[in-house]
Amino acid sequence: MSFMDSIKSCFGKYVTFAGRAPRSEFWFFMLFIWLVTAVLQGLMFTMVDTSGMMAAAQSGTPYEPGMGMGFPIVPLILLVVFILITFLPNISVMVRRLHDTGRSGWWYWIALIPLIGIFILLYFFISKGTDGDNDFGPDPLA
Q: Closest by alpha carbon to 140, among 92, 90, 99, 103? A: 99
Distance CA 41, CA 23 (A): 27
pLDDT at 45: 81
pLDDT at 124: 95
Can you give the length of the chain in residues? 142
Predicted structure pTM score: 0.81
Distance CA 11, CA 8 (A): 5
Per-10-residue mean pLDDT of the chain, 142 residues long, equals 92 91 94 96 79 68 58 84 95 95 93 94 93 87 74
pLDDT at 40: 92
**SS3 of the chain:** CCHHHHHHHHHHCCCCCCCCCCHHHHHHHHHHHHHHHHHHHHHHHHHCCHHHHHHHHHHCCCCCCCCCCCCCHHHHHHHHHHHHHHHHHHHHHHHHHHHHCCCCHHHHHHHHCCCCHHHHHHHHHHCCCCCCCECCECCCCC
pLDDT at 67: 46
CA angle at 99 for the pair 98 and 100, rounded to the nearest 5° = 90
